[in-house]
Amino acid sequence: MSTGDKTISCTSCHNLYLNGAGNVSFSVGINGSLAKRNTPTVFNSGFSFRQFWDGRALTLEEQVEAPFLNSQEMGASWDEIITTLMNSSDYRERFKQVYGKNFITPDQVRDAISTFERTLVTTNSRFDKWLKGDEGALSHRQKEGYQLFKSYGCIKCHQGVNVGGNMFERLGVFREYYLENNTDNTKRSQDLGRFAITKNEETLYEFKVPSLRNIALTSPYLHDGSIKKLRNVIDIMATYQLGLKLPEAEIEKIEDFLSTLTGEPPTILR
């Protein structure tokens, strides 16, 4: 059994100053081990219908436990976590103020962290302002980009308050993404997505459709962090998810539209 060495915190991988994620394909956990998937942003994650790329956690409360206990992320145990917190008079006092008990429980820790995470929302993006009626918040090109986003059907998958985060879809609907992009033969490039949990063939290569909020700032992209440039992801999406080859000029307009999904930083950073 590995034990936490107190070198890794949530923010080691979800850097709040790097938009709640990081700028590397795979974050580094305890003892230098690399995460198996790209770190998603924790901003706006409370609005998503499930947590993780494969949605294996239903709620933020359920999600919290995973990185703590994961031997490659933080490698701790609840006993260690509770002992560490109880040894700090500051934490003891604050937990008592909120939960009214002389002891700290895993449930309180789950609740505290997820309540904090739910404050990490980015509001007032140009797109939000436009939706609320501020015509000038989007440029003409950005409005054209939004029209393309709708008419080509990106919106079939990236929709709702998070412009994503509310369904699972296969990576590679019209063409086989993995067969055509088998550049390196690592396990990561063969990520089976939801199949690994469900064992149901129909869920092979299925991932949670990511939120596109702040997407201009959260490179690298996709669950394996393999794509650096947003325009390349748009091209991949058109090709594999929609079976379309988009002209460069349209990709640029969609990219311009996506940049309007960048919101104001969460309150704690202001």
Chain contacts with ligand HEC (rule: CB under 6 A): 8, 10, 12-14, 27, 29, 35, 37, 39-40, 42, 45, 48, 51-53, 60, 63-64, 67-68, 73-74, 113, 117, 152-154, 156-158, 169, 171, 173, 207, 209-210, 212, 215, 218, 221-223, 233-234, 237-238, 241-242, 254
Which residue, 86 or 232, is less far from ligand HEC as judged by CB? 232
Q: CA distances (Å), 254 to each of 144, 156, 247, 260, in order?
A: 8, 15, 11, 10
The distance of closest approach from Cβ of residue 44 to ligand HEC in the complex, given in angstroms and rounded to an integer, is 8
Q: CA distances (Å), 165 to each of 40, 42, 85, in order?
A: 11, 12, 33
The radius of gyration of the chain's CA atoms, rounded to the nearest angstrom, is 20
Residue 131 burial (CB count, 10 A): 11
The distance of closest approach from Cβ of residue 266 to ligand HEC in the complex, given in angstroms and rounded to an integer, is 14
Give the Cα separation of 19 and 46 in Å (integer). Answer: 15
Which residue, 102 or 185, is less far from ligand HEC as judged by CB? 185
The distance of closest approach from Cβ of residue 229 to ligand HEC in the complex, given in angstroms and rounded to an integer, is 10
The distance of closest approach from Cβ of residue 234 to ligand HEC in the complex, given in angstroms and rounded to an integer, is 4
The distance of closest approach from Cβ of residue 48 to ligand HEC in the complex, given in angstroms and rounded to an integer, is 5
Structure tokens at 176: 């086989």
From the list 74, 49, 54, 53, the residue with the least C-alpha distance to 64 is 74
The distance of closest approach from Cβ of residue 216 to ligand HEC in the complex, given in angstroms and rounded to an integer, is 9
Q: Between the CA atoms of 30, 7, 211 and 236, what dihedral angle is there, to the nearest 10 degrees?
A: -50
Structure tokens at 197: 């949990």
The distance of closest approach from Cβ of residue 53 to ligand HEC in the complex, given in angstroms and rounded to an integer, is 4
For 143, residues 6+ apart whose C-beta sits below 8 A from its C-beta are 257
Give the Cα separation of 79 and 26 in Å (integer). Answer: 28
Which residue, 78 or 134, is less far from ligand HEC as judged by CB? 78
Which residue, 173 or 192, is less far from ligand HEC as judged by CB? 173
Structure tokens at 207: 């991932």
Which residue, 134 or 243, is less far from ligand HEC as judged by CB? 243
Structure tokens at 229: 């440039």
